[in-house]
Amino acid sequence: MAPDAKNALIEVRVAHLGLDRNTNSPVVILQEKDGERVLPIWIGPGEASAIAMELAGVKFARPLTHDLLKQVILGLGGELRRVLITSVKDNTYYAELHIHRDGDVVQVDARPSDSIAVALRLKSPIFTTRDLLETPSGEIIEATPDAGGLDAQALQDYLQKLDPEDFGKFTP
């Protein structure tokens, strides 16, 4: 994906992982590294656990799936240079792993939640586009498991006032 000025890449970090109290669904809040804008992504419980365990520094004797992918990337001589959250289409967020190896770049299509879990394990930066951080929240309504009947403007107002503390703490 070649970004233009409108789609300039912005580095984000995992600001919060919690449970949406309205839907009881895990949500990861990505916040721009040098700013205030956020990108909430509702994720599955397995991926939420993988992210939470890495954030908490929990290690297992045998590798879990995201740990295995980390070892495969490193074992093949690759380096995860970045994760890119690229778009949201038809209620689904898309991401890419950008793996560098021997001067080549391999872009791997992946779910954002898996991409975030792997990026945390490899200490790789996560980026999204300016467009996604500025997307009218109407698209986010459809990307959430249960929008509670809110219209686009109501959800946009809700998300603009959202504080990460509004989410319950997620525990794996």
What is the rounded distance in angstroms from the CA atom of residue 85 to the CA atom of residue 64?
23
Higher pLDDT, 163 or 77: 77
Q: Which of 3-17, 105-119, 151-165 has the lowest mean pLDDT?
A: 151-165
pLDDT of residue 167: 53
pLDDT of residue 36: 87
pTM over 0.85: no
pLDDT (tens digit per residue) in 127-166: 999 989 886 433 333 233 333 333 444 444 544 555 555 5
- Residue 169 C-alpha from the chain's centroid: 17
Please check the confidence at residue 54 and state whether its pLDDT lies above 50. yes
Q: What is the mean pLDDT of the chain?
A: 80
Domains of the chain: 9-162 (3.10.690.10)
